[in-house]
Structure 1
């Protein structure tokens, strides 16, 4: 399974061994990161907002219309903003680097 490089909101960075299938949001929550996920992964709240390392943008499918609209409603967006609930984990994401966005 992949390893993630995660920077928390406080600036601390660590590697996370992914031991499960599912969404990036689920993996981050299981690893102990505070991800509210108020909508349960339906791309309807933005509480699982992350910033991906720019190098990874071309390696992932583009955000669909629903995700892009939700991200557009968030205050602290960047060109690399994504909803972690919409990214499904698999072995191709080994080394994925991301930062948790500020809570809104």
Structure 2
């Protein structure tokens, strides 16, 4: 079970235990992490599970696909570090992963 840290825009942190094979979005929703709205339930159709993944963690993730990249272009203030949590499947490489939750998801 990887431990994942979500840092809110105000600095508050939420550390959750995630299951291997679940998405980062599922881990956030199941643990009531504020700011991860997940309006589409993980279908990569809304952009409301955006997170910012800082180096060196970006190297532990697969590259975003075309659908994710397109959806990110519709999000509020996308950054080079932006990812959709629904598109990140957790495995043992993600133990200790730290992501930042943006101020707004819409």
The alignment's TM-score, normalised by the length of structure 2, stands at 0.88
In structure 2, the gaps of 5 or more residues are: none
Q: Deviations over 1:52-104 (max 9, x none)?
A: 12211122110000000110121221111000000011111101110112222
Moved over 3 A (4+): none
Structure 1 equivalent of residue 92 of structure 2: 91
User: Which is helix-richer, 1 or 2?
Assistant: 1
Tell me the number of residue pairs that the alignment of Structure 1 and Structure 2 aligns: 104
The alignment's TM-score, normalised by the length of structure 1, stands at 0.89
1:75 and 2:76 aligned: yes
1:9–1:102 Cα contact (<8 Å) kept: yes
In structure 1, the gaps of 5 or more residues are: none
In 2, Cα distance between equivalents of 1:90 and 1:67? 19
In 2, Cα distance between equivalents of 1:36 and 1:97? 18
1:65 and 2:84 aligned: no
SS at match of 1:82: strand
2:18–2:27 Cα contact (<8 Å) kept: yes
Structural RMSD (CA): 1.5
